[in-house]
Chains A and B, each alone.
Chain A
Amino acid sequence: DAGVIQSPRHEVTEMGQEVTLRCKPISGHNSLFWYRQTMMRGLELLIYFNNNVPIDDSGMPEDRFSAKMPNASFSTLKIQPSEPRDSAVYFCASSPDPSDRAEQFFGPGTRLTVL
Chain B
Amino acid sequence: TQLLEQSPQFLSIQEGENLTVYCNSSSVFSSLQWYRQEPGEGPVLLVTVVTGGEVKKLKRLTFQFGDARKDSSLHITAAQPGDTGLYLCAGAYLRGSTLGRLYFGRGTQLTVWP
Chain A residues close to B by CB (< 8 Å) = 4, 31, 33, 41-43, 45, 48, 50, 55-56, 91, 93, 95, 97-104, 106-109
Contact between B42 and A48, CB atoms less than 8 A apart: no
A45 to B103, CA, bound (A): 8
Contact between A45 and B41, CB atoms less than 8 A apart: no
Contact between B42 and A102, CB atoms less than 8 A apart: no
Main secondary structure of the interface of B (DSSP, over half): loop
A48 to B101, CA, bound (A): 8
The residues of B that contact A91 with a CB separation of less than 8 Å are 42-43
Chain B residues close to A by CB (< 8 Å) = 2, 30-31, 33, 40-45, 48, 50, 88, 92-94, 97-107
Given A101-B48, A109-B42; A43-B104 close (CB under 8 Å): yes
A88 to B49, CA, bound (A): 30
Given A43-B88, A56-B98, A106-B43; A100-B93 close (CB under 8 Å): yes
Among A97, A99, A100, A107, chain B packs the most CB atoms within 10 A around the CB of A100
B49 to chain A, nearest CB (A): 10
Given A31-B100, A48-B100; A100-B43 close (CB under 8 Å): no
Contact between A106 and B44, CB atoms less than 8 A apart: yes
Contact between A97 and B100, CB atoms less than 8 A apart: yes
Contact between A93 and B42, CB atoms less than 8 A apart: yes
The residues of A that contact B106 with a CB separation of less than 8 Å are 41-43
Given A100-B92, A100-B94; A43-B43 close (CB under 8 Å): yes
The residues of B that contact A55 with a CB separation of less than 8 Å are 97, 100-101
A110 to chain B, nearest CB (A): 11
Contact between A108 and B40, CB atoms less than 8 A apart: yes
